[in-house]
Chains A and B, each alone.
Chain A
Amino acid sequence: MDLDVKVDKQDRATVLTLQGEIDVYTAPRLRQAIVDLVEKGERHLIVDMEKVDFLDSTGLGVLVGGLKRVKTKEGSLSIVITQDKILKIFEITGLDRVFPIGTSVDEVRIES
């Protein structure tokens, strides 16, 4: 399974729509996408994980790295999660208290 990353500018925020699996092999692709966006000046990112089939700590590390990058530019990184199995990973690691998390892009866009 691969990871597909689609980028779409919506109002103030840029939405990264992910599809596939995020692990040690595919996470660098997500990391590069975030780095490229921040270098281009995008500060408010929304990562839509509705179609993510698998996420491990490598992917979490990339998301935390992305959050640090946008925070240094007074930006935000919010996450859309609709699956219990994905939310569980954030809860076990305590990252559900670090990221703004919602169940739709519209919901987290209001917070960003």
Chain B
Amino acid sequence: MTGRWDSEELSIDFPPKAEYVSLARHAVAAMARLSSVADSVVEDAKLAVSEACTNAVTSNARLSEEEPVRLRAAMLADSLVVEVVDRGGASPGGLPAGGHSDGFSSQEFSLETNLSLPLIRGLVDDLEILVQDDGERVVRMRLPARPDDTA
């Protein structure tokens, strides 16, 4: 795992393993709190990051245990912007289905993937999912620093 973090910018590359999802969301939460982001937004950001990173971990683990998930977060004006980059572009139509790296695959998982995207949409102001020709997928999310902020 590699990373860089200051008060307004965060960059972490981590292995596609379930145990790293917690680290990812807590890192974003810590950065947001240092920038005085409202507590309710921090909670929303933690959940959105967790959902995106869970999907990224699942996608990359199918390819290789060495394929890192890239997390980037930054405070921009009155917004918290988060990007999660994986190699899940081979699965068309947004966030993919698949098995977990720790063997947790069941009927519950297919439901989980169905709930993941609606949850993210319900939490963030803007959501973009960009898929490159080489299979790289970027999930970009923006949350207001304070609940009443608009952009």
Contacts and interface: CB of A to CB of B under 8 A. Distances in A.
Instruction: Say whether A associates with B.
Output: yes
A93 B109 CA distance: 15
A32 to B, nearest CB: 10
Contacts of B118: 92-93
B46 interface: yes
A23 B50 contact: yes
A7 interface: no
Interface in A44-90: 54, 56-58, 60-62, 64-65, 68, 85, 89
Contacts of B104: 24, 27-28, 31, 58
Interface stretch (B1-9, B15-23, B75-83, B137-145): B15-23
A24 B106 contact: no
Contacts of A56: 47, 50-51, 54, 119
Query: What bracket does the count of chain A residues touching chain B fall in?
Result: 20 to 34
Contacts of B122: 92-93
A110 interface: no
Contacts of A92: 118-119, 122-123
A54 B50 contact: yes
B74 interface: no
Given A62-B108, A64-B111, A65-B106, A54 B46 contact: yes
Interface residues of B, number: 30
A31 to B, nearest CB: 7
A23 B108 contact: no
Contacts of B116: 57
B113 to A, nearest CB: 8
Nearest to A64: B111
For B40, B102, B108, the residue with the greatest tally of chain A CB atoms inside 10 Å of its CB is B108
B115 interface: yes
B119 A23 contact: no
Given A54-B46, A54-B50, A57-B116, A25 B102 contact: yes
15 contacts: A24-B50, A24-B54, A28-B102, A31-B106, A56-B51, A56-B54, A57-B54, A57-B112, A57-B115, A60-B112, A60-B115, A65-B106, A65-B108, A89-B47, A89-B119
Interface of A: 1, 21, 23-25, 27-28, 31, 54, 56-58, 60-62, 64-65, 68, 85, 89, 92-93
What 10 pairs between A and B have smallest CB-CB spacing? A61-B112, A92-B122, A65-B108, A61-B108, A57-B115, A25-B18, A61-B111, A24-B18, A56-B50, A24-B54
